[in-house]
Amino acid sequence: MPLQFYLLLAAALFCIGIYGLVMSRNAVRVLMSIELMLNAVNLNLIAFSNFLDRQDIHGQVFTIFVITVAAAEAAVGLAIILSIYRNRDTIDMEAFNLLKW
Amino acid sequence: MDQAIFQVSLHTVLWIPLYTLFGGIASVLWSPACFRRTGPRPAGYLNLLVASLGFTHSLLALGAIWGQPAQQVSFTWLQVADLQLLLPLEYSSQSIGAIAVITGLNILAQLYAVGYLETDWGWARFFASLSLFESGMCALALCNSLFFSYVILEILTLGTYLLIGIWFNQSLVVTGARDAFLTKRVGDLILLMAVVALWPLAGTWHYGELAEWAAQAEVAPHTLTLVGLALMAGPLGKCAQFPLHLWLDEAMEGPLPASILRNAVVVGTGAWVLIKVQPVIALSPIASAAVIGVGAITAIGATLIAIAQIDLKRTLSYSVSAYMGLVFIAIGSGNSQAALVLMLTYTLSMALLVMSTGTLIWSNITQDLTQMGGLWSRRPISGLCFLVGGAGLVGLPPLGGFWSLLTLMDSLWMRHPILVGVVLGVNSLTAFSLMRVFFRVFLGQPGPMTVRSPEVLWPMVLPMTVLGGVVLHLPFLLHRAAIVPALSVVTSPFALLLIWSCLMGGGLAGVIYGRHWAQQPVRLFWPALQDFFAQDLYTAQIYRGTIIWVVQQASRLIDWCDRYFVDGLVNGVGFTTLLSGQALRYNNTGFGQFYILTILIGLSLLMLLVTYPILS
């Protein structure tokens, strides 16, 4: 299994995340898509760490940080969604277009 | 002692235009907006005083220069880079004589105006304009440079506009003043082209140096032709020659005392300049022929029109054009001397004619010939003055017109025999026209407007009779000055022809209008022809159909282009910006996901751009 396969898988996951990020109408699914993208990044980091940096494994350290930050981000994100939901009674992304032209 | 006074007055002759000008400016003080309690009359008296001063001064100076060679004086007007604008003056018996005629006629016209404008409050404006004219004409007579002659001609054009437009609450006055200004302005502007074009050719605007240059000029004939034609165009408009003659007809809407000056002197200013530049025009046979042609056509056409007028002032104004046409003929054929003599005799006679008809208009109100009649027994002085003026205008011996026309015919006979016929014809027709007026106005039954017709006030009668005396004495003066041929020529064939042409024209008018053999009002066998001349060859319609139409359409087109194309282009830039701002703001959809998509697309494109060299 060469490095490219991992990278391609990560890229595919990232693209699926983008698709979900842009297309989802549910705000929670948007957060989930972001999680997908972050996991794609983690896959990249682990793959690079395994294939190119076996000694110091910087990539794995980075991954730990990313997972940590992602957790925090998801918490804040969910909090934001919750507060929007309290005001507007919906988490439909199409309804959040008040700041237009 | 006497000699000293003469010499001093000669050296200070330059002051005459200046103090007449200051007299004019001072009279503005008595305009109704300024001195509210004195009334306007002091303005007239002041100008009369100044004009008398000018006349005395010019007579003294004339006494000093008479028989002496001309003196040249020169001032620097402006010096910039390699152009030095000199204002040269010439003190000669000719120029100072002209000033004497101008100031003398001005005294008479202003005294006349004191009577004529008795019930008018606008003396300040009137006399100020009149003095502006007097000053301008005196300056023109002294000025010896084409450039400054042009400057003065333009000031006089403005003066004409103001003077015709004195009574500006009348609509015909406003249109008349407009036409007079624009028509003369067109001629002046073409003259300016010639003035400017002469500088690189001759390197001078001094009349004397121009004549020297013309004597040995070697320039392409086409250039000279164009310059000559442009030089003619200025005087053509000034002298009311065809086709720029309509303004003089409409200028008769102005006050009559001004018409005295205009008919007599102002139209002569163009001819004066034309005489001065005659050596340049003589260089080009085509230009000379054009001057003669314009003069001949105007002389014949305008006399025919004069015969068909029913307005007293207009019968005379067309004779003005006709006599200026004769002056043009004289100049075009190179007889400046004959032109000057003709201008002198014509000026005095025409002023007398206008004065005498003015007295009739003043006390009879109407200017319509057909409303008048039978005034001879009650208005003998006006009638006599009209007869004297008429006799002085046409070639009837022993008065001035006879000698000047005789001089003209003598000089024309060798090279242009046809023009002698033209002069005779014009003379005959003018005699007919004047006698027609005389018979219609003074003889026959009193018309409805002339049943009661008192003689007018002394300020109008006095200048008229004085001028009548001058016209009667003019032959003596001419012979004393040895300007015209000796008495013995009275028996020459030309003299007899002239007398016969006068008698024929006048006699025919007498037969038609005096004996009432023809039906009154006279209808021609071909009424369309009569209307054609009565309507001034439909000149107004011709102007409107040609030049005015073209200019109007062009200005409308340009206005449209400016309004819609040029403005639209600039407005279009603003409008496009506005529109694009309005349209592009819809990019800000308000959807967060759309912004993310934009970021991603932007990033992708940037990545593509950066990696493009590597990928390919």
**DSSP of B12-33:** TTTHHHHHHHHHHHHHGGGSTT
Mean pLDDT of chain B: 89
Q: Torsion angle of alpha carbons B4, B8, B11, B16, nearest 10°?
A: -140
Q: Does B588 touch chain A (CB under 8 A)?
A: yes
pLDDT band at B335 (very low <50, low <70, confident <90, very high): confident
For the whole model, what pTM was predicted?
Answer: 0.85
Those residues whose C-beta lies under 8 Å from the C-beta of residue B10, and which sit 6 or more positions away, are: B60, B61, B64, B65, B71, B91, B96
- Bridge partners for B76 per DSSP: B86
Q: Please give the Cα distance from B493 to B501 (Å, whole number).
A: 12
Residue B84 pairs with which residues in a beta bridge?
B79
Sort out which chain B residues have CB atoms less than 8 A from A30's CB and list them: 593
Report the pLDDT value the prediction gives residue B579, as an integer from 0 to 100. 96
Å from A89 to nearest chain B CA? 18
Minimal Cβ distance to B592: which of A18, A23, A96 = A96
Q: Which residues of A touch B (CB under 8 A)?
A: 18, 21-24, 30, 93-94, 96-101
Please tell me whether residue B283 adopts helix, strand or coil conformation: coil
Contacts of A99 in chain B (CB under 8 A): 588, 590
Q: Which residue of A has its CA nearest to B591?
A: A97
B219: phi then psi, degrees, rounded to nearest 5: -130, 155
- Give B334's pLDDT tier (boundaries 50, 70, 90): confident
Give the tens place of pLDDT for each residue, B446-466.
Answer: 888 888 888 898 999 999 999
Alpha helices by DSSP H, listed for B12-145, are: 15-27, 41-65, 93-116, 123-142
For chain B, count helices (H), then strands (E): 26, 2
* B88 φ/ψ angles, rounded to the nearest 5 degrees: -90, 140
Query: What pLDDT, on the 0 to 100 scale, is given for residue B115?
Result: 92
Give the distance from residue B586's alpha carbon to the nearest chain A alpha carbon, in angstroms: 6
CB-CB contact of B156 with B258 (8 Å): no
Instruction: Kindly report the number of other CB atoms within 10 A of residue B198's CB atom.
Output: 21
What is chain B's length? 616
Report the distance separating Cα B546 and Cα B551, nearest Å.
9
Cβ B239 vs Cβ B266: under 8 Å = no
CB within 8 Å: B591 and A98: no
- The answer to whether the beta carbons of residues B157 and B205 sit under 8 Å apart is no
Whether the per-residue pLDDT at B155 is higher than 80: the answer is yes
pLDDT at B487 over 70: no
- Residue B555's contacts (CB-CB under 8 Å, 6 or more residues apart) are none
Q: The tokens 């000056």 sit on which residue?
A: B261
pLDDT at B148 over 90: yes
Task: Number of A to B CB contacts under 8 A, please give it.
Answer: 31
B520, pLDDT greater than 80: no
CB atoms within 10 A of CB B516: 12
Tokens 């988490």 correspond to: A91
The percent of residues above 70 in pLDDT, for chain B, comes to 97
Closest CA in chain A for residue B587: A101
Mean pLDDT of the B275-303 span: 92
B40, B30 in Cβ contact below 8 A?
Answer: yes
Give the 3-state secondary structure percentages of chain A, helix then strand then coil, rounded to 5.
80, 0, 20
Amino acid found at B510: G
